[in-house]
Amino acid sequence: MDLDGLTQSMIPDFALSLSADGIALLFRAADGWRSVAETPFDAEDLTPALAAMREDALRLAPDGIHCKLILPNDQIRYLTVETGDLPAEERLAAARQALQGATPYAVDELAFDISAEGGSTHIAAVALETLDEAESFAVEHGFAPVGFVAVPGDSGFQGEPFFGTTRAFRGTGMAAGSAPVTVIGPVEFPEPTAEVPAALDAAEALPVEPEAAAELPPEFVAGELTGELTEAEALDEPQESAPDTDAPVKIPPAPPAAAAETETGQPATLGRAGGRINPDRRRIQIAGETRGGQGIHHRPHLFY
């Protein structure tokens, strides 16, 4: 069960890591997360660099790209409160209380996640406008973001902080990782497949051994397996009547249509009020109803 309590959840194969220094695209390989490409934010050719990054991603996933967005830690407020061994709902209430005045935002202008560790409750909070900016940036450059996460480092937060899904995927959900993203090395791209010529010479494609040729009718040998007749043989060959043009023509059935892949859920307003509880991991995510104000670290418009 994912944090949104939905019946369907996605596990994106890519992660787009955003920071004040640059952008990195990561791929979920069989042995862990691997680096695909990266570029600094202040690159003069940022748009072409991101387009090339996306092309690299399509080499790994030709059917399409979906990614989770890793938010920069300087846009996230981490804190820990002592709550005792409380149930999830009461830890949620304690976290909301702790966030009052802890950022330049009202609590309803934040999305936050919590994790429990004994009698401590770890909190990770981010401004809704930061989520909006990150999502718009990723969509603009064709990376199809699904949800928002973070890498908490030494903050004490257990697991991967999850701040909800993007607007397009709010009706689908995303499974948060049991552990934060850790890069283990560069990705290995698949070898390009050799192109097969559109047409091959029939004689080269189907060579005929002399012994086999002796058993074939003369016209097959004379026409080099193409069925062509010599001019003299063509004159002696009886002419067949033209086919009846009134006869019905049988059209082969069309191949079955490919099942439409659902890439988006029902649209919803980012930041709906209410808590979402994951009983399996006792993790909670809250989104407020409004936006606005300054960035948590007074750095709005990080992604533009």
- Specify the pLDDT at position 86: 93
Is residue 258 pLDDT above 90, yes or no?
no
pLDDT of 243? 46
Please indicate whether residue 152 or residue 294 has the higher confidence score (pLDDT). Answer: 152
pLDDT above 80 for 47 = yes
Residue-by-residue DSSP string for 225-255: TS----HHHHHHSPPPPPP-TTSPPPPPPPP
Rounded Cα distance between 37 and 215, Å, is 61
1 — pLDDT class (breaks 50, 70, 90): very low
pLDDT digits (tens, 9 = 90+) for 101-114: 999 999 999 999 99
Compute the average pLDDT of residues 251-258: 36
Confidence of residue 10 (pLDDT cuts 50, 70, 90): confident
pLDDT of residue 222: 45
Average pLDDT over residues 14-40: 95
Cα 162 to chain centroid distance, Å, stands at 16
Q: Give the E-state strand segments of the chain in sequence order.
A: 14-18, 22-29, 32-40, 67-70, 76-82, 110-117, 120-127, 145-149, 162-165, 183-186, 275-278, 283-287
Tens-place pLDDT, residues 205-220: 455 555 655 555 554 4
Of the ranges 24-33, 102-111, 205-214, 261-270, which one carries the lowest mean pLDDT score? Answer: 261-270
134 CB-side CA count, 13 A: 33
User: For 87-103, what is the mean pLDDT?
Assistant: 96
What pLDDT is recorded for position 67? Answer: 96
φ/ψ of 300, rounded to 5, equals -70, 165
Distance CA 23, CA 178 (A): 23
pLDDT over 60 (residue 198): no
Model-level pTM? 0.66
Task: Say yes or no to pLDDT of 202 above 70.
Answer: no
Q: What is the pLDDT of residues 117-174, one digit of tens each?
A: 999 999 999 999 999 999 999 999 999 999 999 999 999 999 999 999 999 888 777 8
Structure token pair of residue 26 = 């990561």
Query: Residue 279: what pLDDT?
Result: 31
The domains of the chain, with CATH numbers, are: 14-187+266-287 (3.30.420.380), 202-232 (no CATH)
Higher pLDDT, 219 or 277: 219
